[in-house]
Each structure stands twice: as C-alpha cells, then as structure tokens.
Amino acid sequence: MSAGFTTYVRNAANITNWDGSTSDNNLVSLFARANYSLRDRYILSASIRSDGSSRFGSANRYGLFPAISAGWVVTDESFASALARHATLKLRGSFGVTGNQGIGDFASLSLAAGSLYSGVPGVAVTQLGNPNLRWETTHETDIGADIGLLGGRLALIGDWYNRLTSDLLVQRPVPTTSGFGSIWDNIGGIQNKGLDLGVKTINLESASGRGLGWTTEANITWNKNKVTDLYGGQQQTYTVSSRVTSVVAVGQPIGEFYLYQFSRVDPATGNALFSKKDGKETSAPTSADLGFSGSPQPKYYGGITNTFTYGAFDLHGFVNFSQGGKVFNMMRIFMDDGGYSYDNKSTIILNRWQKPGDVTDVPRMSYDGTSGARLASTRMVEDGSFVRLGDVTLGFKLPAAVAAKANMDNARVFFSGRNLKTWTKYTGYNPDVNSAGAIANVVMGVDYYAYPLARSFTFGISAGW
C-alpha cells in the first residue's frame, strides 16, 4: 500500500465518521485562427485547435478540431445593384468539429477505494477502466442567410444545420457477473438536423425618443433528433422508479418512451386493455408488448418578444412556446390508480368505469390494482405543448434632474411579472418539466410531482453611481 493511499481517513481500520474526497484533471490546448476579408464582400475564416485531456486513455488524450466558415455579401455585387436598392443579402456557410470531455476525471481508469474486511483495512475495485476512451466529436454543417428589407426595418435570419455526433460518451451496460453494472465507453451516434428562423421588425419608430416605438423579435426552431448508431446495435433502456422507461434505439429520437400500449377500457369488466405485438388485446401485458410511445422532444419551439417605448416609459413582453413534445405524467400512477395509493386523486377518476356498459378510458376503482390502472402505459402520456407568457416588464426612466439629486445616472424604476400564464392541455402542473434529472442524458419529459413554476412579481430600481 502506497504512502499516499494511507492518507485517506476511510482507510483506517476503525472508523467513527469520515467525509472527504479529491479530484483532479488537466487540459492542454493549442489554438490558431485566420481571417480574410476582400472588400468586406468575401469573408473567410478558419481555425484549428488541439486539446489534450487527462480524462481519456493515454493513447487517445488528444483531439483535433478544425473549423472553416465563409460569407458572401451578394448585394455588394454589381449584378445585384437593382436588388441592393431595396434589400441586403448575405449568404454564409460553415463546417466545424467540436469535442466533448464531459465525463468524470478518472473515467478511463480502473479505480479502487478503501474497504474494511472483518475490521481489517483493505482495497476494493470500484470502477472498471477503459484505456481506449476518447473524445466525443460533433461534425456540424450550417448554411444560412441574412436578409434586410425596408431600409433595415425588417431583418430575417435563416439557418439550416446538420449535426452528427459520434463516439458518444455513455456508460455502457456490462454483465453484472463482472461485479459491475456499466463501464464508460464511446458508443453510438446521434443526428440533429433542422431549421432556425429569426425575424426582427421595427413596427413603429419613435423620433428622438418621442412618440410610440415598437419592435418585435421572434424565433422558431424545427429540430429532428435521431439515434444513428449504437454499440452492437443494441437498444438501451433507462428506467425511472421501476416504472417509466426511456430508450435509446437506432432510428428513434433519444429518450423515446417505451411503454405498454393502452388500448381501451373493457366495457364489461372495467379493466384496462393493452395492445400486444400481434395486435390482440390483453389485460396482462408482458415486457414483450412494450413499444415506442412518443418522444419528449418538441417538434418545434421558439419565442416572441415585443418592446414598446413612449417617452420615458418602456414595456417589454416575452412569450415562449413548445409544440409536439410528450410528457409522461407519472403522478397519474398514484392520482389515477383506482384507489391503491393514499395520494390525493385527480378529477380524471370522475370519468371512471362504474358499471357494465360504461364506455370510458378510465379503468374501474380497484384497491388491489387488478384493473390495470397503475401500469405505466401510454394512458399516462400526454401532449406537452404549451404557450407561456413568461415575462412582462414596465419601466420608467427617471428625469436626469431627479436622478442627479441622488447622485444616480440612468436611473430606471420597473415592475415585472414572471411566469404569468401558461396555456396547455397538459393536466399536470407544468408541461416543461423533467423530474428524472439528467439520467445518462437520456430520460426526459417525466413529471413526478415536480414543483410548479412560481408566478413572481418584482419592483425595483436600476441605476449607476
């Protein structure tokens, strides 16, 4: 046993209490960049960097990450002079490679820790090492355009992008007969591609701060996420509280729910019926009947900001939205379970099956759980789309003479409200939620009594002295 190892309190034979840890990592980088511009019309930029991280295996510590971008101001060309009288147009494109080292400091190493055996201090292996661990890399291509119209009163920005991430840093499951459940490895790939659009308009322009001014900024993003490769092509599952399962599967969005497929409630018995793989119905599904059940990732999302000014007054409002993402309302396993748990019940159970012939999608009450109401299934998957009035702020800039008496500069008083209103069909507290935290960066959109967003109001003053 080395002298350095014995300095840890936990390696003592008889421990009353202890706490403490240490960690260390090193990153060394080299970076070069070059820019070229001709007549401010043709723009070229290139860079290259090399990073070495102690977190990876000794043979793979360094990664090389190049990038190049180009821009062309089309309306500066003579052939576009007619267009230039009414608009500005810039085309641009870029390609680059980035790296990710977001893992533990010693993920590539086999680790050991102090362990007692019959009161005698010893050492036990706590982590399997992987000397081949290397950088996770993302190759991104971007093609975009910037357009100005109406003398600068209307600006449009559009970007198409394609991000391919390979050598994902993931804890890969291993046979538990090894004494461990997982090992850090580079497995699989993910593709994110989509379209970003942004617009800024000057709807009303006040002259020298007089009159009404009004500007609008809006953006929207469509993103399609897909898993392109996995270790051995094997689907990987991640479970929350032994109930909700999210999967990583080739061809599916990351974090896709993987659940029993709820079909209907049997009008004769009030029991929940589920679809089997062969299309038949059953009240007792098995793991073979689990299926893809919707993605927590939205189809599109964005926001709109409006700013009004009038004299010394300003009014700012922000609305954001997300559409198409699914939420697993895990609360319903306990609030809509037919009476098994002691949790307060949802008003959903007012529509439960009560007598033969009732047609409903809410199973009968059953304290013993035999109705199938407690099974984590697509019955608990809800539309997480929402529109939220996120912020409204009203401000007033104090007259310079008044501010000067308090030795203040640019003094402004304001009153603001946040999370004022959310419009959604989701039956839980908040559709923009993830109670599961960052489980392997996979599990998303699970709501298990997540605390709702607080509506808050603030009155304050901002100034310089």
Q: What is 133-172 written as a DSSP string?
A: ---EEEEEEEEEEEEEEGGGTEEEEEEEEEEEEES-EEEE
As a whole number of angstroms, the distance between CA 132 and CA 178 comes to: 19
Q: Is the pLDDT of residue 37 over 60?
A: yes
The shares of helix, strand and coil residues in the chain, as percent rounded to the nearest 5, are 10, 50, 40
What average pLDDT does range 298-320 have in this prediction? 95
Which pLDDT band holds residue 7 (cuts at 50, 70, 90)?
A: low
Dist CA 88 CA 109 (whole Å): 55
Secondary structure in 3-state letters for 325-347: CEEEECCHHHHCCCCCCCCCCCH
Per-residue pLDDT tens digits for 230-267: 888 888 888 887 778 888 899 999 999 999 999 999 99
Q: Indicate the DSSP class of residue 62.
A: E
In the predicted structure, residue 16 carries a pLDDT above the cut 90: no
Neighbour-count burial of 391, counting CB atoms closer than 10 A to its CB (0-12 exposed, 13-18 middle, 19+ buried): middle
Average the pLDDT over 12-29 and give the result. Answer: 74
**H-run or E-run covering 81:** helix 81-84
The CATH number that applies at residue 321 is 2.40.170
Structure confidence at residue 119 (pLDDT): 72
Residue 166 CB neighbours (<10 A): 17
Q: Is residue 274 domain-resident?
A: no
Question: Does any domain span residue 425?
Answer: yes
Which of 156, 145, 138, 143 lies closest to 69 in space, CA to CA? 143
Quick check: is 280 in a domain?
Answer: no
Alpha helices in 85-123 (DSSP H): none
C-alpha 305: how far from chain center: 22
Task: Decide if 127 is inside a domain.
Answer: yes
Instruction: Tell whether 206 is covered by a domain.
Output: yes
**Which residue's entry shows tokens 């993302």?**
138
How far is the first Cα of the chain from the last one, in angstroms, to the nearest whole number? Answer: 61
Structure tokens at 195: 């379209």
| Structural domain contains residue 49 | yes
Which amino acid is located at 59 in the chain? A
Q: What's the domain count of the chain?
A: 1
pLDDT, average across residues 284-293: 93
Mean pLDDT of the chain: 89
DSSP 368-420: TSTTSTTS-BGGGEEE--EEEEEEEEEEEEPPHHHHHHTT-EEEEEEEEEEEE
Answer whether residue 102 shows pLDDT above 90. no
Reference 159, options 139, 144, 140, 141; nearest CA is 144
% of residues, the chain, pLDDT over 90: 59
Higher pLDDT, 290 or 111: 290
**239 vs 228: CA distance, rounded Å:** 22
Domain that holds residue 365: 5-264+292-464
| Mean pLDDT, rounded, for 372-387 | 94
Task: Evaluate whether residue 156 is within a structural domain.
Answer: yes
- By CB neighbour count within 10 A (0-12 exposed, 13-18 middle, 19+ buried), where does 74 fall? middle
Checking phi first, is residue 263 left (phi over 0); if not, alpha (psi -120 to 50) or beta? Answer: alpha
CB 95 within 8 A of CB 47: no
One-letter amino acid identity for 170?
V
Check residue 165 and give its pLDDT.
Answer: 95
Buried b (16+ CB within 10 A) or exposed e, 115-145: eeeeeebeeeeebbbbeebbbbbbebebebe
**Residue 356, pLDDT above cutoff 50:** yes
Position 270 in a domain: no
What's the token pair of residue 451? 């605390």
Bridge-based pairing state of the strands 446-447 and 189-204: unpaired
C-alpha–C-alpha distance, residues 295 and 253, integer Å = 7
- What is the 8-class DSSP label of residue 433? -
In the DSSP assignment, the letter for residue 344 is P
pLDDT in tens, 310-321: 988 999 999 999
- Mean pLDDT throughout 356-362? 95
pLDDT band for position 385 (cuts 50, 70, 90):
very high
